[in-house]
Amino acid sequence: MSVIIDFSIFPVGKGESVSDYVSRAVKIIKESRLPFKPGPMGTAIEGEWDEVMAVVNRCFEALRKDCNRVYMTMKVDYRKGESGRMEGKVKTVERKS
């Protein structure tokens, strides 16, 4: 029942470097205890839909408290009856490519 999301969030109008804000989100993702995988363009998170959305919500609240403008992108891949897919997806493609 799990979903995997790719998630990125950053402020617009806080200068060219946004890593302090991105780090705030990644800290929240870590604290969630959900499996995650950091990447250069976003963080992948796996879990039940409600769990994952709760984390996204916390990240958004953490940035909007002191950022006038926040930009976020998300991709979601849901597949019925499967969990622990995050590692599996990468391995399957690695093996086949």
Residue (of 62, 27, 29, 58) closest to 46 by Cα position: 29
Q: Tell me: does residue 76 bind a second copy (CB under 8 A).
A: yes
Angle 34-10-93 (CA atoms, 0-180°, nearest 5)?
50
Q: Which is nearer to a second copy, 20 or 33 (CB)?
A: 20
Q: Residues 29 to 48: which contact a second copy by CB under 8 A?
A: 30, 37-42, 44, 46
Q: Tell me: does residue 84 bind a second copy (CB under 8 A).
A: no
Looking at 32, 51, 53, 58, which residue binds a second copy (CB under 8 A)? 53
Which token pair is 62?
């953490």
Residue (of 22, 27, 88, 19) closest to 55 by Cα position: 27
Q: Tell me: does residue 90 bind a second copy (CB under 8 A).
A: yes
* Residues 9, 13: Cα–Cα separation, whole Å: 13
* Residues 84, 45: Cα–Cα separation, whole Å: 11
What are the residues binding a second copy (CB under 8 A)?
A: 4-6, 8, 10, 12-13, 15-20, 22-24, 26-27, 30, 37-42, 44, 46, 49, 53, 57, 60, 64, 67-81, 85-87, 89-90, 92-94, 96-97
